[in-house]
Structure 1
Amino acid sequence: MGFRTGFVLVSVSFLSGVLFIASLYDFPLLYSQHGQHELDVSLKFYLSLFQAPTAVSALLHGMIGLGLIGLLAKLHRWTETAKWFDGVSLVLFMGAVAMYGAVQVPNLRILADPNNMDLLLRSSVRTQREAVAKARVKAGEISADTVVDLASEVLTADEQEATIKVIAAGNTIILALFAGVLLFQASEWWMERAERIEEEKKRDAEMKALGLSSGNTAEKKSQ
Structure 2
Amino acid sequence: MPAKGTAPFATFLIVGPTCFFLGILFALFPYDYPILWTTPTAYKHAADLTLPPLTQYFALQENHLKFLHASPPLISRILHIVIGTGLLGFLMKLYKPSEANMLFDGASLALYMCGITVYIANIVKGLRTVTAGAYGGEVPSADGYAVGIERAEGDFVGREDSLRVLAASNTILALVLVGVLILQAGQWYAQRKEAEEMEAMDLKDEEKKAARVASAKENGKKKI
Common fold by TM > 0.5: yes
Aligned to 2:133: 114
What are the equivalent positions in structure 2 for 1:1-80 lying under 5 Å apart?
Answer: 1=2, 2-33=8-39, 34-80=53-99
Deviation at 1:130, TM superposition (A): 4.9
What are the equivalent positions in structure 2 for 1:27-176 lying under 5 Å apart?
Answer: 27-33=33-39, 34-114=53-133, 130=152, 132=154, 159-176=158-175
Contact 1:26/1:168 (8 A) holds in 2: yes
Aligned to 1:123: none
Q: How many residues align?
A: 192
Deviation at 1:53, TM superposition (A): 1.5
Give, in whole Å, the separation in 1 of the partners of 2:83 and 2:213: 57
**Which residue identity is paired with 1:41?**
L
Query: Which 5+ residue runs of structure 2 have no aligned equivalent?
Result: 3-7, 40-52, 140-150
Aligned to 2:196: 197
More helix by share: 1
Contact 1:110/1:119 (8 A) holds in 2: no
Stretches of 4+ aligned residues off by more than 6 angstroms: 116-120
Using the size of structure 2 for normalisation, the TM-score is 0.79
**Which SS does the other structure have where 1:132 is aligned?**
coil
Query: Which 5+ residue runs of structure 1 have no aligned equivalent?
Result: 121-128, 134-149, 151-157
Residue by residue over 1:114-157, the C-alpha shift from the partner in whole angstroms, topping out at 9 and shown as x without a partner, is: 3699997xxxxxxxx65525xxxxxxxxxxxxxxxx8xxxxxxx
Give, in whole Å, the separation in 1 of the partners of 2:200 and 2:76: 49
Aligned to 2:144: none
Aligned to 1:221: 220
Deviation at 1:103, TM superposition (A): 1.2
Q: Greater CA deviation, 169-178 or 105-114?
A: 105-114
Using the size of structure 1 for normalisation, the TM-score is 0.79
Contact 1:109/1:119 (8 A) holds in 2: no
Sequence identity (%): 29
Contact 1:4/1:74 (8 A) holds in 2: yes
**Which residue identity is paired with 1:44?**
N
**Which residue identity is paired with 2:154?**
V
Give, in whole Å, the separation in 1 of the partners of 2:95 and 2:184: 15
